[in-house]
Amino acid sequence: NAGVMQNPRHLVRRRGQEARLRCSPMKGHSHVYWYRQLPEEGLKFMVYLQKENIIDESGMPKERFSAEFPKEGPSILRIQQVVRGDSAAYFCASSLGTGNSPLHFGNGTRLTVT
């Protein structure tokens, strides 16, 4: 049973380009979460999605960042016009979403903006 799959593992973008990060949840999971982690720091919540719906985007910057989780296919975190401060590890997690169930994380995408 495959876990949460994220790709690419590493992504290098120049300032001003777009970054697209993909996440396929665990089989049977319909809830997806995106977190961001800076070096030596904890994970900061960005956005929580259920199939085709954004449940909570309170941690995601209003500009340049967007997320989707379509009916078919992976969840996408999109960062437009990247800046150096966007360099970080971005982790996706999924859960069953029923009651208190743990989040299962992928191994992240490390974004470097040059």
Q: Which residues bind another protein (CB under 8 A)?
A: 4, 6, 33, 35, 41-45, 48, 55-56, 59, 91, 93, 100, 102-108
The least distance separating another protein from the CB of residue 15, rounded to whole angstroms, comes to: 25
* Amino acid (1-letter code) at residue 108: G
Q: Which pair of tokens denotes residue 50?
A: 């259920």
Pick 17 or 25: Cβ nearer another protein: 25
The least distance separating another protein from the CB of residue 59, rounded to whole angstroms, comes to: 8
Rounded Cα distance, 108 and 103, in Å: 14
Pick 76 or 89: Cβ nearer another protein: 89
> 67 and 76 in contact (C-beta within 8 Å)?
yes
The least distance separating another protein from the CB of residue 1, rounded to whole angstroms, comes to: 14
Pick 44 or 78: Cβ nearer another protein: 44
> 37 and 44 in contact (C-beta within 8 Å)?
yes
Rounded Cα distance, 35 and 11, in Å: 16
